[in-house]
């Protein structure tokens, strides 16, 4: 019984960042995570050589990259040392690597938690080799999360300007979930904070019977109604160091 329970938990967790069709029934953030994964997937070949993942978490997108070496970095906290798959830990200010030592840098859903964005981008620029590549994803429309460490939302224009100011050239910028699915995802985000508890069984029932119908409707309407490139969940940027 214990082995079965662990397998079920593992299967549910596998749907957190790379959800397939049945993730609709277990992932309250299905629309957001599916959209982000589909945006990152075709960009993986840009990320090559020695790669630094800042705020790596569980390294959910490592397998999409063409890296020869993949290094995970996290803030040095007890929780991160216990639960994250980082190879290095740091103070959140100075990256613990020498100048021009990385071929590529990735950082997903981290930039909004950085209180000093100029210093953060300067450090990335410092550790990247000439013509090195940066992949950055960051929310545009989303609720406050990981409070109190949620500091900003960035439009596509703000990201372009910031990156150019710090010596980067934009290669491509993609907006994920630029359709009506965004509204249904935000509704589920609201329900998540109001209905979810510490009881995992209750949470799965809520997701199955309340959230999944909303998700399915959002997916269907998002596919068949016109897109809106001015209202979207995430920016995904590929840029090169000049």
* Residue 57 resides in a domain: yes
* Residue 194 resides in a domain: yes
Tell me which residue of 27, 31, 33, 3 sits closest to 13, measured CA to CA.
27
* Residue 10 resides in a domain: no
Residues 214, 183: Cα–Cα separation, whole Å: 10
Tell me which residue of 17, 183, 180 sits closest to 85, measured CA to CA.
17
How much is the average pLDDT of 171-178? Answer: 98
For 207, residues 6+ apart whose C-beta sits below 8 A from its C-beta are 25, 26, 27, 28
* Region class of 172: left (phi > 0), else alpha (psi between -120 and 50), else beta: beta
* Residue 12 resides in a domain: no
* Residue 9 resides in a domain: no
Name which of 11-15, 105-109, 181-185 the model is least confident about: 11-15
* Residue 7 resides in a domain: no
Q: Global pTM?
A: 0.93
Residues 216, 24: Cα–Cα separation, whole Å: 7
Name which of 9-23, 55-69, 226-240 the model is least confident about: 9-23
Whichever domain contains 188, its CATH number is 3.40.50.150
* Residue 8 resides in a domain: no
* Residue 62 resides in a domain: yes
**Confidence at 159, pLDDT banded by 50, 70, 90:** very high
In the structure encoding, which two tokens stand for residue 179, read together?
């359709």
Domain with 37, as residue range(s), is 19-241
Structural domain total, the chain: 1
pLDDT at residue 14, as a whole number: 76
Beta strands in 84-231 (DSSP E): 88-90, 102-108, 128-139, 168-176
How much is the average pLDDT of 200-229? Answer: 96
Q: If you search the block for the tokens 């019984």, which residue do you land on?
A: 1
**Residues 33/17, Cβ–Cβ less than 8 Å:** yes
In the structure encoding, which two tokens stand for residue 127, read together?
């550790």
| pLDDT tens per residue across span 6-45 | 676 677 777 888 899 999 999 999 999 999 999 999 999 9
How much is the average pLDDT of 128-147? Answer: 97
């Amino acid at each position: 019984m214990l082995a079965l329970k662990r397998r079920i938990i593992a299967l549910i967790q596998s749907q957190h960042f790379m959800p397939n069709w049945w993730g609709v029934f277990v992932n309250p953030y299905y629309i957001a995570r599916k959209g982000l994964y589909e945006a990152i997937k075709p960009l993986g070949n840009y990320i090559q050589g020695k790669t630094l993942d800042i705020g790596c978490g569980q390294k959910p997108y490592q397998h999409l990259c063409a890296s020869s070496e993949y290094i995970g970095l996290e803030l040095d906290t007890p929780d991160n040392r216990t639960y994250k798959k980082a190879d290095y830990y740091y103070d959140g200010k100075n990256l613990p690597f020498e100048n021009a030592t990385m071929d590529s840098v990735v950082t997903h859903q981290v930039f909004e938690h950085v209180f000093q964005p100029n210093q953060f981008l300067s450090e990335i620029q410092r550790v990247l080799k000439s013509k090195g590549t940066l992949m950055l994803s960051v929310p545009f429309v989303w609720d406050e999360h990981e409070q109190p460490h949620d500091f900003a939302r960035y439009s596509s224009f703000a990201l372009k300007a910031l990156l150019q100011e710090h010596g980067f050239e934009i290669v491509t910028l993609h907006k994920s979930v630029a359709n009506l699915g965004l509204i249904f995802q935000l509704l589920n985000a609201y329900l998540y904070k109001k209905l979810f508890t510490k009881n995992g069984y209750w949470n799965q029932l809520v997701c199955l019977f309340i959230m999944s119908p909303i998700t399915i409707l959002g997916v269907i309407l998002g596919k068949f109604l016109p897109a809106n490139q001015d209202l979207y969940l995430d920016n995904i940027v590929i840029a090169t160091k000049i």
